[in-house]
Amino acid sequence: MKKVISFLIIASFIVPVTSSAQRTRKRTVTTPAKKAATPYFQGSSREGAMKGQLSDALRMAQSGQYENAANALFSLGRRPELAAERPQIKYILGTMLVELKLYQTAAFQFVDVIRSKHPKYSKLAIEKLSVVADTLGDDTILNYAISRVDLNDFPAALKDMIHFRMGEIRMRNHEYAKASELFSRVHSGSSTYFQAQFNKGLAELEANQPGLAIGTYTRMIEARGRAPVTDTNKVAAQLGLARSYYQKQDWDQAIEVYSQIPRDTLMWHDAVFEQSWAMFRAARFRSALSNFQTLHSAYYEDFYMPEGLLLRAIVYLYICKYDEMEKVLSLFEKTYGPVRSKIGDFLKSTNEASAFYAEVEKAQMIKTTDRSANLRLPYIVLRNVLDEGDVKRAMNYIDRLAQERARVDSNRAFKASALGQYATKILANRSRNAKFAVGDMVKAHLQNMRVELRDLYEQAGFIRYEMINGRKESMKKKLAGRDLGETQIDDKIDREFYIQNGYEYYPFQGEFWLDEVGNYHYLGKQSCEQ
C-alpha cells in the first residue's frame, strides 16, 4: 500500500511536467514560420563567405599549393551551404591528394563523387579512381570503378590499363578465353604490354591451347630480341615458351628452351626444376640427376620443394639405385615430416587471421633484411607462401599504405589537421582490413600445403614399396648370378675426355661450392638388370 501511494505521488509530478513539455513542443512547431526571414539572411551571408573561401581554395589549387588547397577543400566539403558544389569540391580535393601522393585517401573522395551521380564529375571521378586503384594495386576499388561505367566510355589513354586489369580479373575467375582477348587489346606502346603478352600466353595454356601459347611467347621473345640476356620480360617469355612445349609433351624442345634461361635470374631455379621433369619424361635420367645436385645443394636449403626430392627418388628407382633412393626418401621424411607437423599444429592452435599475418610478416622481415625472428612455422613454408601471387600482391598493397602513412606522419602540421586525422583513420582501417585479408590467404595456402604434403607422403609410401620390391628382385638376380657388378656407364671413356672439354673431374663427396651451382654432372652406374 505504501508503494502504491509513493507511485501516485511521483505520478502527480510527472503528469504536469509531461503536459508542459507537450505544450512546449507545440509552440516550437509553430515558430519557424515566424522566424523564417532571419536564417535566410544569415544563411545567405554564410553562403557568400563559403563561396569566397571556395574561390580561394581553387586559386590555391591552381597555383600548386596542394596541401593548403586540400585542407581548405576538405573543410568546405562538409559545409551544408555548399551541398550543391560538393561533388566538384570532393573531385578537386581528390586530385589534390593524388598530387600529394595520398592515393588511398584520394580514392575515398572519388568514390563519394561517383555515388553522388553528378552528370559531370562522377565520370571524371571514375577515371581518376581507376588510375588510383592501378597505382595502389587495389582490385576492390578498381572493380568498383569499372562496374560503374561502360568500358567504351573510358578515355583512350586509360584503355590499355583497364583492359590489362580486366584481363587479370577474368584470369582469376578462370574465364581464360575472355582474359586472353582482353590482354590482346593492350597496345605495344603500353607499359603493361609485355606483362599482358605473358598473361595472354598463360591464359592460352590454362585453356589447354599450347600451340597458341607457343606463338605468343615466340613473338614476345622476338620483340625483346635486342634486350640483354637477363631482361625480365625476355626470360619470362622463355620460361613461358618452355612450359608450352612441356604441356605439348615436346620434351626435347622444352629441355632446350629451359636451358636458355640465364643462371643469374630469379626464374632460373624454377627452370631447373621444371627441366628436370622434362628430362625424366624424356628418359634422360643422368641429366635429371645432374640438375638435382644443384636443386638440393646447400644454396637452396631455404626453398620448399618436397616434390623435387620425390622426383629424384623416382629417377633413382628407374636406374635401380636403391641405396641412393633410400637416402633421398629419408631426407624427404626428415625435412618435411616436421614441416607437416608444424603446419598441422599451427592450423589447430589458431583461427585468427591476425596470427597468420603476423607469421608471414616476420618471414618477410627475414627475407628482406636477414634479421632473425621467432617463427612458429618453418621459414621454408612461409617463404613459399610469400611467393604466392595473391599474397605478394596484397603485401605490396600494404606496403603502399605504409608509405602513404609515412608521408602523413612526416608532415606534423598536416597530420594535426582535420584532413590529416581523416587520412590517418582511413589508412589505419584499410591497413588493418588488408592484413586480415592476407591472414586469410596465408591460412588457405597452409591448408593447401597440408593437403599436398599428405598426398606426397602417400606417394613416398608407394615409392618406398617399389624400392623394397626392386631390392628384392635385384637380390634374386644377384643370387642367380645375373647382377651387373660395379660397371660405370662411362668406364670406357678416359677422364681426359672431360678435362679436354673444359670440365674439372673429381668424385663428389657432398661438398658444396656456390660458384659451381648448375655445373654438376652426374656420372652414375648402370644398375638395372638386362
**Residues 372-385: tens digit of each pLDDT:** 788 999 999 999 99
Asked whether residue 194 is assigned to any structural domain, the reply reads no
Last residue of a domain, one of 92, 119, 151: 151
Domain that holds residue 293: 283-481+516-529
Cβ contact 241:221 at 8 Å: yes
Three-state DSSP at 521 gives coil
Convert 267-279 to b/e letters by CB count within 10 Å (16 or more is b). ebbbbbbbbbbbb
User: Who has greater pLDDT, 219 or 144?
Assistant: 219
pLDDT at 105 over 90: yes
Residue 523 above 80 pLDDT? Answer: no
pTM: 0.78
Q: Is the pLDDT of residue 276 over 80?
A: yes
pLDDT score of 1 more than 80: no
Q: Which CATH number does the domain housing residue 126 bear?
A: 1.25.40
Q: Identify the band that residue 141 occupies on the pLDDT scale cut at 50, 70 and 90.
A: confident
The answer as to whether 67 is a domain residue is yes
289 or 4, higher pLDDT = 289
Helices and strands counted in the chain (H then E): 23, 0
Q: Report if residue 396 sits inside a domain.
A: yes
- On the question of pLDDT at 9 being above 50, the answer is no
User: Of 118, 151, 184, which marks where a domain is finished?
Assistant: 151
Q: Are 308 and 295 in contact (CB under 8 A)?
A: yes
pLDDT at 17 over 50: no
Give the model's confidence band at 361: pLDDT under 50 very low, under 70 low, under 90 confident, else very high: very high
Q: Is the pLDDT of residue 21 over 50?
A: no
Say whether pLDDT at 478 is over 80: no
Task: Count how many domains the chain has.
Answer: 2
- pLDDT band at 13; cut points 50, 70, 90: very low
Which helix or strand (DSSP H or E) is residue 414 part of? helix 412-416
The reply to whether 207 falls in a domain is: no
Query: What are the residues facing 525 on neighbouring strands?
Result: 488
pLDDT in tens, 188-231: 989 899 999 999 999 999 999 999 999 999 999 999 999 999 99
The number of beta carbons lying within 10 Å of the beta carbon of residue 318 is 14
> Tell me, what's the pLDDT at 331?
93
The residues facing 488 across adjacent strands are 525
Of residues 143 and 427, more confidence is placed in 427
Quickly state the pLDDT bin for 471 (edges 50, 70, 90).
confident
C-alpha cell at 172: 582469376
Backbone angles phi, psi at 488, to 5 degrees: -80, 145
318 and 466 share one domain = yes
Which pLDDT belongs to residue 127?
Answer: 85
Average pLDDT, stretch 414-420? 95
Radius of gyration for the chain, computed over Cα atoms and rounded to the nearest angstrom: 34
Nearest to 284 by CA among 60, 489, 23: 489
Top-ranked range on mean pLDDT: pick from 73-77, 300-304, 513-517: 73-77
Whole-number Å distance between alpha carbons of 414 and 64:
16
- The CB-side HSE value for 347 (13 A sphere, CA atoms) comes to 17
In this prediction, what percent of the chain has a pLDDT beyond 90? Answer: 55
Residue 325 lies in a domain: yes
Per-residue pLDDT at 42 exceeds 50: no
- Over 50: is that where the pLDDT of 3 sits? no
Q: Supply the mean pLDDT for the chain.
A: 84
Instruction: Please give the pLDDT value at position 234.
Output: 96
Residue 97 inside a domain? The answer is: yes
Report in angstroms the alpha-carbon separations of 48 from 36, 38, 53, 75, 81: 19, 16, 9, 16, 9
Q: What share of the chain is helix, strand, coil (3-state, %, to 5)?
A: 75, 0, 25
Cβ atoms of 404 and 106 within 8 Å: the answer is no
Q: What are phi and psi of 517, to 5 degrees?
A: -60, 130
Question: Strand, coil or helix: what is 525?
Answer: strand
Q: What percent of the chain has pLDDT over 70?
A: 82
Say whether 488 sits in a helix, a strand or coil. Answer: strand
Residues 172-177 have a mean pLDDT of 93
Give the range among 29-33, 293-297, 389-393 with minimum mean pLDDT.
29-33
Considering the domain architecture, whether residues 289 and 147 belong to the same structural domain is answered as no
| The pLDDT of residue 211 | 96
Residue 438 within any structural domain of the chain = yes
User: Worst-scoring range by mean pLDDT, 16-25, 153-162, 241-250, 264-273?
Assistant: 16-25
- Check whether residue 323 and residue 472 sit in a common domain: yes
Whole-number pLDDT of residue 526: 58
Domain assignment present for residue 108? The answer is: yes
State residue 470's pLDDT score.
87
Kindly indicate the confidence band of residue 511, based on its pLDDT and cuts at 50, 70 and 90. Answer: low
Model confidence band, residue 527 (pLDDT cutoffs 50, 70, 90): low
Q: What is the pLDDT of residue 269?
A: 92
Same domain, 326 and 467: yes
Local confidence band at 499 (pLDDT 50, 70, 90 cut-offs): low
Q: Which of 106, 135, 151 is the last residue of a domain?
A: 151
User: Would you call 359 helix, strand, or coil by DSSP?
Assistant: helix
pLDDT band at 142 (very low <50, low <70, confident <90, very high): confident
